[in-house]
Amino acid sequence: MKILVINCGSSSCKFQLFNIDNGDVLAKGNAERIGIDGKLTYKPAGKDEVVIEADMPDHKVAVTMILDQLVDKDHGVISDVSEIAAVGHRVLHGGKYYSESVIVNDDVKKVIRDCFDLGPLHNPANLIGIEACEAVLPAGTPQVAVFDTAFHQTMPPKAYMYALPYEYYEKYDIRRYGFHGTSHRYVSRRVADFLGEKYEDLRIITCHLGNGSSFAAVKDGKCQDTSMGLTPLAGICMGTRTGDIDPAIVPFIQKRTGMSADELDTLMNKQSGVQGISGVSSDFRDLAKAASEGNERAQLALDMFVYQGTKIVGSYAAAMGGVDVIVFTAGIGENTYDVRAGICKNLEFMGVKIDPAKNDGLRGKEAIISTDDSKVKVVVIPTNEELAIAQETEALVR
Ligand code: ADP
């Protein structure tokens, strides 16, 4: 069965076509600069990348161009678009409505639209992507929405409520939602398989550490808590995002500087985090290099990241009454062994012990990095959100 996975942004449309029977990626690429000029990068498996610069006024045109490449007589990978059994769409926000992926119908589209306020940068683009596929694929091709928030919908109210007056929850749906759910679900399930354990029997803490970073506490096969909140700004400090700060800082800065709400939003989302602290970069490779050359603020940014990560993992262990497995994933979690080592070293009091011979130098591979006598298994599991979306899509349409 062939499944197309689509991840639409406001001016881009990333895609991967899977043969889900064996997990192979048949082709992948990205349509960029939609509505500006247009550039399509298309890479069929085992063949050279193709770059096409052509006018792409909207997402419908972009999706049409992608499909044209998939069936192209020279570098296509299928002979007809009817071979695409279903399309899985990454959708940022499903609000409080969905705890699972769903086949798209008018009600689902209404929910995605109702959540525009909660995911203003992503949800409108995600809906455009769905409608573009509906318009250009054969009628009846199922479209599946896979929500970033869905996995976290099992959190109990004590974990997702904020201590604001209750009517703010009732009127405006202000609560913790959490993000990266597809990744947290994928790596937590995968680690259970990898260890040969029953998913429901494990207390797992998943650490998705990338440009955006979040943690999840998973017990009884369900998400119990997660570090991102109403928006992906909460939790650990990130590439350019503050993570948790005293909320009173916001009106404080506003009064001092006269910044508008939008300017504050930009400050906290785009100019803060390890970039804001170090003044060097949001990229952990640059930070590590600067720190090794004696840049104290780069070192401070790294120290803050490890310290805050430690506190979150420690608090989730407390929340679950213990932890059996800690999983590291995403760009930093998979590649930056001193961050893994730093967090685990701080957790030695809980019986976490990692083996430097297994951890040092490990990049992007599934591996246990704890010692045999560690009370907690520490595992690196590379995330694969696209494959996870394809698998969820297949499960729904089969
Ligand atoms: P995004 O949230 O954009 O998907 P990623 O998961 O790609 O982010 O993570 C980006 C972060 O991962 C960057 O800080 C980068 O420094 C780090 N990273 C990615 N690859 C490596 C690598 N090979 N070595 C060290 N760090 C890496």
> Which ligand 1 atom sits nearest the alpha carbon of residue 383?
6
pLDDT exceeds 90 at position 192: yes
pLDDT exceeds 90 at position 143: yes
Q: Name which residue sits closest to atom 2 of ligand 1, judged by CA.
A: 211
Query: Is there a contact between 119 and 101 (Cβ–Cβ < 8 Å)?
Result: no
Asked if residue 336 has its Cβ within 6 Å of ligand 1, the reply is yes
Alpha helices by DSSP H, listed for 137-198, are 157-160, 166-172, 181-195
Q: How many Å apart are CA 357 and CA 346, to the nearest integer?
A: 18
Element (H, E) at 127: helix 123-136
Amino acid at 230: L
Which pLDDT belongs to residue 121? 79
Which pLDDT belongs to residue 2? 97
> Which ligand 1 atom sits nearest the alpha carbon of residue 239?
14
> Which ligand 1 atom sits nearest the alpha carbon of residue 208?
6
Contacts of residue 393, defined as CB under 8 A and 6 or more positions apart, other chains included, come to 3, 5, 86, 87, 88, 101, 142, 144, 146
Q: How confident is the model at residue 191 (pLDDT cuts 50, 70, 90)?
A: very high
Which pLDDT belongs to residue 356? 97
Q: Tell me which of 336, 359, 360, 385 to substitute to probe ligand 1's pocket, judged by most ligand atoms within 8 Å of the beta carbon.
A: 336
Asked if residue 368 has its Cβ within 6 Å of ligand 1, the reply is no
Q: Tell me which of 14, 90, 211 to substitute to probe ligand 1's pocket, judged by most ligand atoms within 8 Å of the beta carbon.
A: 211
Verify whether residue 37 is a known catalytic residue.
no
Asked if residue 110 has its Cβ within 6 Å of ligand 1, the reply is no
Asked if residue 10 has its Cβ within 6 Å of ligand 1, the reply is no
- Residue 17 Cα to chain centre, angstroms: 19
Q: How confident is the model at residue 120 (pLDDT cuts 50, 70, 90)?
A: confident
Average of per-residue pLDDT values in the chain: 96
Which pLDDT belongs to residue 204? 98
pLDDT 10s digits, 208-262 = 999 999 999 999 999 999 999 999 999 999 999 999 999 999 999 999 999 999 9
Q: How confident is the model at residue 119 (pLDDT cuts 50, 70, 90)?
A: confident
pLDDT 10s digits, 260-304 = 999 999 999 999 999 999 999 999 999 999 999 999 999 999 999
Which pLDDT belongs to residue 31? 95
Q: How many Å apart are CA 242 and CA 337, to the nearest integer?
A: 23
pLDDT 10s digits, 37-65 = 999 999 999 999 999 999 999 999 999 99
Asked if residue 285 has its Cβ within 6 Å of ligand 1, the reply is yes
pLDDT exceeds 90 at position 392: yes
The active-site residue, picked from 55, 107, 117, 148, is: 148
Domains and CATH numbers, the chain: 2-147 (3.30.420.40), 197-385 (3.30.420.40)
Q: How many Å apart are CA 310 and CA 349, to the nearest integer?
A: 12
Q: How many Å apart are CA 232 and CA 81, to the nearest integer?
A: 35
| Ligand 1 centroid from CA 160, angstroms | 28
Which pLDDT belongs to residue 117? 84
Residue 382 tokens, joined:
């590379």
pLDDT exceeds 90 at position 10: no
Q: How many Å apart are CA 4 and CA 19, to the nearest integer?
A: 9
Residue 45 per-residue DSSP state: T
Residue 258 tokens, joined:
């006269």
Predicted TM-score (pTM) of this structure: 0.93
Asked if residue 284 has its Cβ within 6 Å of ligand 1, the reply is yes
Q: How many Å apart are CA 229 and CA 173, to the nearest integer?
A: 12
Q: How many Å apart are CA 227 and CA 71, to the nearest integer?
A: 42
| Residue 254: half-sphere exposure toward Cβ, Cα within 13 Å | 13
Contacts within 8 Å (CB) and 24+ apart, 360-363 = 361/337, 362/337, 363/334, 363/335, 363/337
Using a pLDDT cut of 90, give the percent of the chain over it. Answer: 95
Asked if residue 56 has its Cβ within 6 Å of ligand 1, the reply is no
What are the angstrom distances between the C-alpha of 86 and each of 82, 193, 210, 390, 392?
A: 9, 26, 29, 9, 11
Q: Name which residue sits closest to atom 19 of ligand 1, judged by CA.
A: 331
> Which ligand 1 atom sits nearest the alpha carbon of residue 336?
25
Transcribe 86-124 into DSSP letters: EEEEEES--TTT-SS-EE--HHHHHHHHHTTTTSTTTHH
Q: How many Å apart are CA 245 and CA 61, to the nearest integer?
A: 42
Query: Is there a contact between 278 and 297 (Cβ–Cβ < 8 Å)?
Result: yes
Mean per-residue pLDDT, 377-398:
95
Query: Is there a contact between 287 and 280 (Cβ–Cβ < 8 Å)?
Result: yes
Q: What share of the chain is helix, strand, coil (3-state, %, to 5)?
A: 40, 20, 40
Asked if residue 283 has its Cβ within 6 Å of ligand 1, the reply is yes
pLDDT 10s digits, 60-100 = 999 999 999 999 999 999 999 999 999 999 999 999 999 99
| Max CA separation in the chain (angstroms) | 62
Q: How confident is the model at residue 364 (pLDDT cuts 50, 70, 90)?
A: confident
Contacts of residue 180, defined as CB under 8 A and 6 or more positions apart, other chains included, come to 148, 208, 212, 214, 216, 228, 330
Residue 326 tokens, joined:
């800690």
What are the angstrom distances between the C-alpha of 205 and each of 51, 113, 208, 285, 324?
A: 40, 32, 10, 25, 8
Q: Tally DSSP H helices, then E strands, for the chain.
A: 15, 14
Q: How many Å apart are CA 117 and CA 304, to the nearest integer?
A: 31
| Ligand 1 centroid from CA 393, angstroms | 27
Question: Taking each helix axis from N to C terminus, what angle separates 296-320 and 284-292, rounded to the nearest 10 degrees?
Answer: 120
Q: Name which residue sits closest to atom 7 of ligand 1, judged by CA.
A: 331
pLDDT 10s digits, 194-208 = 999 999 999 999 999
Asked if residue 382 has its Cβ within 6 Å of ligand 1, the reply is no
